Amino acid sequence: MIILDATKKDKLVWKHDNVEHPFSSSAVWNALRQRGEEVNWAHLVWFSSCIPKHAFIMWLIIREKLLTQDKILKWSPSRRLNMNVMCCSLCIAAFDSHSHLFFECKYSMQVWLRVRNDAFMQHIPPKWNDIMDWLNAREQV
Ligand SMILES: [Zn+2]
């Protein structure tokens, strides 16, 4: 039975391990999530002025979790028969995959070469491991 007391002010609380805590989304999230070991690239994705949408996409890229056609194919193998569905939407010349999207596609390779030059990364080969190694070394200086 709940007894309402009009003389007291309402407050949000949540109960965790039979203890009441003042409610906040971050406190609940931190209490409920399972933390893994921090990866050496975490500072490249999440930092004080990061844009959350960009950080999320970067996290997907690093974990190779972008929803490219090769990932979708695992759910629906019959799609392989239709090149119109499976092909890269940038070049329309090859099957879409993580490696194709970033470094094998003729279109994205042109973008990468331009970005690489603008970011003074001309000596970095077009491979994720080499790029991540360069970024990690740069951030730790
Ligand atoms: Zn392509």
pLDDT tens profile 51-102: 999 999 999 999 989 888 888 888 877 766 666 677 888 998 888 888 888 8
- How many angstroms separate the alpha carbon of residue 102 from the centre of ligand 1? 9
- Is the pTM higher than 0.85? The answer reads no
**Number of domains present in the structure of the chain:** 1
C-alpha 57/C-alpha 134 separation (Å) is: 19
Q: Is the pLDDT of residue 2 over 90?
A: no
The DSSP element (H or E) to which 19 belongs, if any, is strand 19-22
- Residue 76: domain span: 67-139
- How many angstroms separate the alpha carbon of residue 131 from the centre of ligand 1? 20
Buried b (16+ CB within 10 A) or exposed e, 96-119: bbbebbbebbeebeeebeeebeee
C-alpha 72/C-alpha 112 separation (Å) is: 25
Is 44 part of any domain? no
- How many angstroms separate the alpha carbon of residue 73 from the centre of ligand 1? 17
- How many angstroms separate the alpha carbon of residue 87 from the centre of ligand 1? 7
Is 130 part of any domain? yes
Q: Is the pLDDT of residue 25 over 70?
A: yes
- How many angstroms separate the alpha carbon of residue 88 from the centre of ligand 1? 4
Specify the pLDDT at position 27.
85
- How many angstroms separate the alpha carbon of residue 54 from the centre of ligand 1? 22
Is 55 part of any domain? no
- Token digits of residue 118: 């603008």
Q: How many CA atoms lie within 13 A of 16 on its CB side?
A: 13
- Token digits of residue 132: 């991540």
Is 1 part of any domain? no
Is 79 part of any domain? yes
